[in-house]
Chain A
Amino acid sequence: MSGLSFDLIALQLFTGLALGAIYVLFAIGLSLIFGMLTVVNFAHGAFYMIGAYVGLFLLSLGGNFWLCLVAVPLIVGVSGMIVERFLIRPLYGRGIDYPLLLTFGLSYVMVELIRIAFGKSGYPFDTPDLLQGAINIGVGYFPLYRLFAIGAAVVVLLGLWLFLEKTSFGLIIRAGARDPQIVRVLGVDIGRVWLYVFGIGTAIAGLAGLLAAPLQGLIPEMGANILAEAFVVTVVGGMGSIGGAVIAGLLVGVVVSMTSLFAPEMAKVSIFALMAVVLLIRPQGFFGRAGLMS
């Protein structure tokens, strides 16, 4: 093809990383919840959507975007904790398919509730004034807001990493993921740990939804689209591995972007082709622990 320059390829790579950052942010909560609770959260897309709508609602009350960045994860996280406490907790110990089916049904309920409250048609979500426009990043123009989204993803990931690796509560969470029985024997209320983990996972999903809103606007079904891609990311990275989700998310973003450059009609398929190849070579994903699903 004509016009294939170094700048174009570099810009395309960067676009892929930016896409990947949003995948990572969404998939990280999914991976966290699965890794710690072995709950495959099919309502994750719905929490993402709720995040965007809570943001819209707060803005309509006169809030601003920066306030939303704090308030939305809090509100969505608390609603996630309510879901864990009253719906998911009774199902622990019954096998992986029970919470899977529950969250699957729950996602439909949540989408329908939003349709009733906000209507079926979509809403616009303006990019905050401060982040409008594109700036030259050396190889071409790139939207300021997408740069901000990458930055936000990095901050969230760093925070999560510090929390899990450097705090004593993080230590309990990691121990609980390895062997909940022993942790319980040591006198830790593991139920409380799981409650917080589910809250943190859904809070990050809500934040991802808010960050995605200015990119694509709002519709009640917005979570369903990204859920398929997020599952690819978690499977490729290894179910339950946070580091794996980060690397796989960025990889998926770059694969989509580079395929779009050469064969745009193959972009969507490329994600699943990547997953198939990874599964053939490494069935547990990049960093997955074998046997977690069984």
Chain B
Amino acid sequence: MAKKTTNSGLVSRRRLLTTVGAGAVLAASPFRINLLQAQEATIKIGFPVPLTGPYGTEAQDQVRAAEVAIAEFNEGGGLNGRKAELLVRDDKLNPGEAASRALELIEREKVNFIVGSLSAAVQLAVNNVTKERQIIFNSISQSDTINEASDFSKYTFHEALNPHMTAGAVGRYAFPKFGKKVAFLTADYAYGHEMVRGFQEAGKAFGVETLVDIRHPLGTTDFSALLPRIQALKPDILCISNFGRDQQIALKQATDFGMKKSMKIIVPIMLYTGRIAAGPQAFEGVVGGTSYYWGIEDKVASAKAFNDRFRKMHGGKVPSDYGALGYGGVKTLLMGAKAAGSLEADKVIAAVEALKYDYYKGPEYYRACDHQAVQSVLIIDSKANPQKGDADVFNVVEIEAPSDANLRTCAALGHKA
């Protein structure tokens, strides 16, 4: 009797161990996420962006715009009643920090998607993590590398423009109009190098001649020593490929040196936030590209709707270019999930690939081979004086329509046909 009791006690202990063990395995496996999702959990979107540091202004606007996409989705009934939620993290513009935040979002918060990053290097770091964990990632800043086969995975989407498209569009607009002799002033990192390559490739068709390509380190505060040489070379066009504060200071000092009198200054991306921060003087007459400018609302209905919603949620402000990407990046994944009727990665990927969308800037779609958003590029120049309030800073002088032809070919990127 006593022996039997011991036996049954042993069996039950063994069963207990098995159950606990199975439970632990279950808790650690992706299967658990599905169980949780079945219980109508919210859809979580991780949003790592550089809230602090030199691109803080742009990143904060990305958060504001992403909140608009979340609000619209939830008001529209969500995914069969399941609401979405944004989990914002500061990646401090640092690839290592961004990778840890992304991993944390996936492991601890069990996010369904990740949208974010505001640097060529940081987005590749996040992409490495999401690729390995099989979480869909939509990048909202410029990079050519992320399209390439070596970095791409089916979980990778790129809602932002890439340097090849942006510099190409600006070059195709500027070279025939302003001349063929070009001097480059370039920030010495991936962004700058990719932009210059984009300009030079677009320039081949026009016989553009590169007089000089001067590289400056990130965070340069005085460009005066670089400018006399450019002036002496007498270029038709000075092409300044840098970002954020570097762009503001370079334009300001080039203006001070009177360079606009003898040459046209072009930039690949003319930042709305940068122009607001630097004032009209430095940017006056400069031509550049952008993915979005709020002023297209006169012509594009979806832009009007997006701007109005943004104004309503954020005290009458208009969204910036990079801000709007935060909206587009979140919106496309949520609409994909809605179309798929599921959060299962493969189904969402197929649905997002099939989207032909116009959420805020006119028609867009993701190219199948590299998930690059094929979209318009706006060519803008900066007004001397805002007439309709402080936000009225740019003229849209041309819109390059979305076209596969403006992207590098899938074969060139290393994707198999």
Residues of A within 8 A of B (CB): 2-3, 5, 7-8, 11-12, 15-16, 18-19, 120-124, 126-127, 133-134, 140-143, 145-146, 215-217, 219, 222, 225-226, 256-257, 260-261, 264-265, 267-268
Q: Does B19 contact A (CB under 8 A)?
A: no
Q: Check B225 against A134 for contact (C-beta < 8 Å).
A: no
User: Chain A contact residues: over half helix, strand or loop, or mixed?
Assistant: helix
Within B189-242, the residues touching A (CB, 8 Å) are 214-217, 219, 221-222, 224-229, 231-233
Q: Does B248 contact A (CB under 8 A)?
A: yes
Q: Check A133 against B258 for contact (C-beta < 8 Å).
A: yes
20 contacts between A and B (CB under 8 A): A7-B232, A8-B232, A12-B228, A12-B229, A19-B224, A122-B248, A123-B277, A124-B279, A134-B258, A140-B231, A141-B231, A145-B256, A215-B222, A216-B221, A216-B253, A217-B277, A225-B221, A226-B221, A265-B216, A267-B225
- How many Å from the CB of A52 to the closest CB on chain B? 12
Known: A19-B222, A122-B277, A264-B215. A141 touches B257 (CB 8 A): yes
- How many Å from the CB of B234 to the closest CB on chain A? 8
Q: Does B278 contact A (CB under 8 A)?
A: yes
Q: Check B217 against A268 for contact (C-beta < 8 Å).
A: yes
Complex Cα gap A189–B249 (Å): 46
- How many Å from the CB of B261 to the closest CB on chain A? 8
Known: A122-B248, A141-B258. A3 touches B233 (CB 8 A): yes
Chain B residues with CB under 8 Å of A127's CB are 256, 281
Given contacts A124-B281, A215-B252, 19 further A-B contacts (CB under 8 A): A3-B229, A3-B233, A8-B228, A12-B228, A15-B225, A15-B228, A19-B224, A120-B57, A123-B277, A127-B281, A134-B256, A143-B257, A145-B256, A217-B249, A226-B221, A257-B224, A260-B225, A260-B229, A265-B216
Q: Does B95 contact A (CB under 8 A)?
A: no
Known: A216-B221, A217-B278. A5 touches B232 (CB 8 A): yes
Q: Does B52 contact A (CB under 8 A)?
A: yes
User: Chain B contact residues: over half helix, strand or loop, or mixed?
Assistant: helix
Chain A residues with CB under 8 Å of B279's CB are 124, 126
Q: Looking at the complex, which one of A7, A122, A140, A257 makes contact with B245 (CB distance below 8 Å)?
A: A122
Chain A residues with CB under 8 Å of B222's CB are 19, 215-216
Q: Check B281 against A126 for contact (C-beta < 8 Å).
A: yes
- How many Å from the CB of B153 to the closest CB on chain A? 34
Q: Check B188 against A11 for contact (C-beta < 8 Å).
A: no
Q: Does B56 contact A (CB under 8 A)?
A: yes
CB closest chain-A residue, reference B225:
A260
Q: Looking at the complex, which one of B217, B219, B225, B282 makes contact with A256 (CB distance below 8 Å)?
A: B225
- How many Å from the CB of B186 to the closest CB on chain A? 10
Chain A residues with CB under 8 Å of B249's CB are 216-217
Q: Check B228 against A140 for contact (C-beta < 8 Å).
A: yes
Complex Cα gap A210–B52 (Å): 25
Chain B residues with CB under 8 Å of A217's CB are 245, 248-249, 252, 277-278
Chain A residues with CB under 8 Å of B273's CB are 121
Complex Cα gap A219–B225 (Å): 22
The 3 closest A-B pairs by CB, nearest first: A134-B258, A260-B225, A124-B279
Most buried by A among B217, B225, B253: B225
Q: Check B57 against A121 for contact (C-beta < 8 Å).
A: yes
Known: A8-B232, A15-B228, A19-B224. A146 touches B256 (CB 8 A): yes
Chain B residues with CB under 8 Å of A141's CB are 231, 257-258
Q: Looking at the complex, which one of B188, B256, B257, B277 makes contact with A124 (CB distance below 8 Å)?
A: B277
Chain B residues with CB under 8 Å of A7's CB are 232
Chain B residues with CB under 8 Å of A121's CB are 56-57, 273, 277
Known: A222-B221, A260-B225. A143 touches B56 (CB 8 A): no
- How many Å from the CB of B119 to the closest CB on chain A? 17
Chain B residues with CB under 8 Å of A5's CB are 232
Complex Cα gap A190–B410 (Å): 76
- How many Å from the CB of B277 to the closest CB on chain A? 5
Complex Cα gap A5–B233 (Å): 10
